[in-house]
Amino acid sequence: MDKKIILYIIAGLLIIGLLILTFFPGIIQAWQDSEKSVSEKCKPASGYTEESWREHMSHHPSIYKECLT
C-alpha cells in the first residue's frame, strides 16, 4: 500500500513538472540568466530575435532590470 502512494506522489510531481515546463518554457532560460553578468544577460539568447528577447525580459523584470532601462 505504501509503495502505491509513493509511486502516485512521484507520478504527480512529474506531471506537475512537465506542465510547468510546458506553460512556462522560458523559465529555465530566466533561471540560467540570473547568474550571468549584465552584458551577457542583455544579449538575445539563441532562438530569439531582438524583439522577442526584449519581450521575454519584460516578463522577468526582477532578473533583467538592468536591460530594461
Q: Give per-residue pLDDT as tens, 27-59.
A: 777 777 667 777 777 888 888 899 998 898 888
Nearest to 29 by CA among 57, 61, 69: 57
- What pLDDT is recorded for position 1? 66
- pLDDT of 11: 96
Per residue in 12-25, pLDDT (tens digit) is 999 999 998 888 87
Task: Give the structural domain span for 24.
Answer: 2-58
Q: How far apart are CA 51 and CA 48, in angstroms?
A: 8
Q: Distance between the two ends of the chain, CA-based, in angstroms? A: 56
CB neighbours of 54 closer than 8 A, spacing ≥ 6?
Answer: 68
Whether 19 is in a domain gets the answer yes
Residue 7: inside a domain: yes
As a whole number of angstroms, the distance between CA 40 and CA 32 comes to 11
Number of domains the chain is built from: 1
